[in-house]
Chain A
Amino acid sequence: MFTEKIELKDLDKMDAEYRDLLGRVLTIQADCEIGGPHLYVETMLPAAPSKLDQLIVARTAAEEIDHFRKVARVAGDMGVDVSFVLSQPNEKRFVDTFRGLITTWEDHAVFGFLIDRVGRYQLEEFYDCSYLPLQRILPDIVTEELGHIEYGYNKSLELMSKGDEQKERVQKAIDYWYVRALDMFGRSGSKRAERYLYWGLKRRSNEQAREDYIREVNPILLSLGLKIPDPLEGRRYL
């Protein structure tokens, strides 16, 4: 197990596998950061239920663009150009969840509540990681992601308080995003994930992180009076 802490200046001395894995994880992270706004800006900025919500959509997008910028800087400094993901069509996103468009407000709310929470998990993987420039950008990004999760939760709650029909629509959105959230953690027993762990670039296996997520999210869903979707139905990565 690799336990050292690495600065940019040390990268040339590192094993090629380390540099490859680091470049890969930064590229995927950058794609996920900009993939969010590409899912909802076009559709939700004009369709949010109030002017204030429209501005919060814009603010959320601004924060995600800034997260992209920070990750792109860390990648760019080590020679990995991730700028191509800025013009990448949604259907080519690395993670399935970011392919498509969000077209309803309840989907937007639940996306914040469930998918931004996965985003937080992905970022938490890098806490105390071996690459210090990556570790340094995390605190501000995670704080902002917490804000997105809270907003999504509050908006879901607000919608559900409007009656059974709205609650059903939120449940439908939960059914759609829950399995996608679980898939975002990747395959259980992944060999690549083991290498990330070995190099100190991540701290949990895919299945561990997914289990932690389920343990956190399921009680919240139940406390809201929502049903927990079948965790296996429609899954792509078990």
Chain B
Amino acid sequence: MPQAAPGTEKLDEHLQEVVRALHGAVKQGVSHVNDAKVMDKAIADSKEILDVIMAGEVKEWLN
């Protein structure tokens, strides 16, 4: 059986949480298309989550 790369499980769990949070934010906005305030908040939340992922500081996520 090969040995897993260090941090494999932790990264998987972290990204799973990120994706869940992102889908939650999007869903909140999409289900309130006529409420600009809720939409704006959903977009801002999505951006905040995505900015962290795009920055790619993997070591920080796993610590």
Contact = CB atoms under 8 A, between A and B. Distances in A.
A114 to B, nearest CB: 23
Interface residues of B, number: 36
Interface string A47-66: 00001101110110110011
- Counting chain B CB atoms within 10 Å of each CB, the highest count among A42, A56, A76, A78 belongs to A76
B12 A76 contact: yes
Contacts of A77: 2, 4, 8
A79 B5 contact: yes
A42 B51 CA distance: 8
A86 B60 CA distance: 13
Nearest to A11: B2
B53 A37 contact: yes
A95 B6 CA distance: 26
Contact of A80 (B5, B18, B33, B58): B5
B6 A55 contact: no
B11 A51 contact: no
B35 to A, nearest CB: 10
B50 A61 contact: yes
Interface in B5-29: 5-9, 11-12, 15-16, 18-19, 22-23, 25-26, 29
A9 B1 CA distance: 5
Given A51-B29, A55-B42, A55-B46, A62 B8 contact: no
B53 to A, nearest CB: 6
A193 to B, nearest CB: 25
B15 A69 contact: yes
27 contacts: A9-B1, A11-B2, A37-B50, A38-B54, A41-B50, A45-B43, A46-B47, A52-B30, A54-B46, A55-B30, A55-B42, A55-B46, A59-B22, A65-B19, A66-B19, A69-B11, A69-B12, A69-B15, A72-B12, A72-B15, A75-B5, A76-B9, A76-B12, A77-B4, A79-B3, A80-B5, A83-B58
> Sorted from nearest, which 10 A-B pairs have the closest CB atoms?
A76-B8, A87-B56, A58-B46, A81-B5, A62-B22, A69-B15, A51-B39, A86-B56, A76-B5, A66-B19
Given A9-B1, A51-B39, 4 more contacts: A8-B1, A58-B26, A61-B50, A76-B7
Interface of A: 8-9, 11-12, 37-38, 41-42, 45-46, 51-52, 54-56, 58-59, 61-62, 65-66, 68-69, 72-73, 75-81, 83, 86-88
